[in-house]
Structure 1
């Protein structure tokens, strides 16, 4: 819902405007000077600001200058003034969208709100799409480079892994034979088993990186892929994060469930959901920390639910959580595009991504049509 802030030291004007705006369905705030207005902007980020110019403590010019310091906040701004010394040029130099002389006509202000809100919205959508495209271009460039490097690197790594797995297996068999006669080799057997297990894990990580780096270009190139393999590959890449965060995970998925998809794109979605859970759980200092991945068939759909032991998404941000560039993470820790891009990826696969608001924990559900 569009919100409007009225900043004027005349209480009657604030009351009059608020009454009309509320009748039109707008949410309203009011302030008696620029300092009060700044506090409201910092807390509520109103879409539209209507400000007087001559005010005590902090006048309209100072108020707008302070607003403009926040480059991420770009409301529609109107000036109201009864003084002839404030010209349209002066107002526009400050970044004001329109100037209304007192006494004003209510229909003029309402018309201005509708006109400039539409312009700002269209401009915002263009800028938003440009940012998304820039991020996609950057990600595609990184994935292209990764794809070019991964083929040669994975070949070399796999050669070494093959030697390690084979040698550790032969060593284990030899030690088991010797251990029948002498129990002193039992510890060495355990070590050889760990070497073998870690070598296999390295192989799976390399395989997962190759999957992530692949690029498909046409609908015909979609593959019928085992869902469990995509989930496991995503977990493999985040294994270290899970260990460092002391986060347990459980995967409930049969190995006979397949989806037709671009696997590297679906893996990106799963990685994002899992990383979000890791980030949220990292702030929890005590108690069990876990992530459950539950897969089930419902009618003609396959649903994958990612649930973590976090406290859930605050109610006041649930409607915005998948908006582009919206993030609840600290500055520098999140771009705010992960969930919105994940949603777009799933929609391109005729699927959906939704937040389960009925869950007391954080629970996202990805849904696909079954093949």
Structure 2
């Protein structure tokens, strides 16, 4: 039974005697031998089979051995097959010509069997080593490509993780700072707020007492009359209650701001717990009030709240506040760049069958479709260098999808606006 792994040799020669001698000798030496009687038939046969080595006669009818070799080396499928020329010529010029065409060796007629066998085995061994080296190089190249790909992935993951940690630390530091400021403001504000009621009562009593004195003694004397005129007692009677009322309203506003700051910081709410999402949105809007309010000729950005009736939601409240902050800041930035005459952000919430939906919509210029597919990719940003890290929406996606098991979707129409739809699971 023939060994299927026998090396295959192709003899190309027009001399029947040479073919017979080589065929029998090489077959007995353990090779599988094929024969072609001219260059054209050899090239045709080479399209069907791929021998391990070609023994090629130089002088043949039709195209000679040199032309046959040249065509082989021009064919990508054949160029790596080693060619040994067979010739009776001893001219060095012919040998140089053959080698320059890509042949690997020469054997001279009449054949010396031991020499022929030694040269064939040498070049088959070299071909085997070359193929083996090529395979190893290919594997090494593939390994390097895979290694480079893994390094790029790990580097991107590391950068993303580092950036998330840095941003998380910044948000934590901001939360600590906001909480500290809120705490420091809270005590004196409560003191002022609590005492304003008494101040208002005392003032009312004193003004009433002055009025009674005026009724009892309409002519208090020149000195008191001058003092009444100097302090404009009539105006004080009218304005002081309004002044105290304004102070009361201002103190209440400061208390609301402090409460919003404390709600936004959520320093004591790192665990998974029930929270009022509307309170988180409102506290975030309060933090951003200076960016949305009217200033001079700038009419500001209209904030439309269309809140549905929501249950308390189990979540990480501080992280969701970070989501609201990132989405609202992006909407505000887009509106500031767009500079429409009427700019607005609409926030709609609703309880659905199995989740809570929060929709934040702006009427800026919209986002092109080719950009929408990349919005949640880490480090992708359309903002100028130095204005955006490309991490805001990636972190929003991570918090909503990975931390809360929800979904986030972007719907945008160019020249119209953009909506980000958040959906958070909720127990019915």
Q: If the length of structure 2 is used for normalisation, what is the TM-score? A: 0.53
- Over 3 Å counting, the alpha-carbon distance change for 1:152 and 1:362 in structure 2 is closer
Could you say what secondary structure the match of 1:336 adopts?
Answer: coil
- Aligned residues of 1:169 and 1:192 also touching (Cα < 8 A): no
1:179-209: CA deviation from partner (whole Å, max 9, x where unpaired) = 9995444642552244223312331243134
SS in 1 for 2:351: strand
- The 1:290–1:150 alpha-carbon spacing in structure 2 relative to 1, beyond 3 Å, is closer
Larger radius of gyration: 2
For 1:198 and 1:337, how far apart are their aligned partners in 2? 34
Q: Which runs of 5+ in 1 are unaligned?
A: 1-110
Task: Return the alpha-carbon distance in structure 2 between the equivalents of residues 154 and 344 of structure 1.
Answer: 29
CA deviations 1:70-128 (Å, max 9, x no partner) are: xxxxxxxxxxxxxxxxxxxxxxxxxxxxxxxxxxxxxxxxx999887755543332111
Shift in alpha-carbon separation, 1:330–1:198, aligned structure 2, 3 A? same
The equivalent of 1:159 in structure 2 is 187
The answer to whether 1:232 aligns with 2:282 is yes
Which residue pairs with 1:135 in the alignment? 163
The 1:258/1:316 distance shift into structure 2, 3 A limit, reads same
Alignment of 1:210-249 (within 5 A): 210-211=265-266, 213-214=267-268, 216=270, 221-243=271-293, 246-249=300-303
Alignment RMSD, CA only?
A: 3.3
Aligned CA distance change for structure 1 residues 149 and 334 (closer, same or farther; 3 Å): closer
Instruction: Please give the residue correspondences for 1:1-371 in structure 2 after superposition, counting only pairs within 5 Å.
Output: 119-146=147-174, 153-171=181-199, 183-185=238-240, 187-189=242-244, 191-211=246-266, 213-214=267-268, 216=270, 221-243=271-293, 246-254=300-308, 256-347=310-401, 348-357=403-412, 360-371=416-427
Range that drifts further, 311-320 or 197-206: 197-206
2 CA distance for matches of 1:203 and 1:130? Answer: 37
CA gap 1:176/1:298 in 2 versus in 1, 3 angstroms = farther
Deviation track 1:160-196 (CA, whole Å, cap 9, x = no partner) reads 1211222344455667889999544464255224422
- Structure 1-normalised TM-score? 0.60
Once the two structures are superposed, residues 245-277 of structure 1 have per-residue CA deviations (whole angstroms, 9 ceiling, x without a partner) of 711212222464321101000110010000101
Unaligned runs of 5+ in 2: 1-138, 212-236
Comparing 277-286 with 115-124, which one deviates more in the overlay? 115-124
CA contact (8 A) 1:214 1:264 kept: no
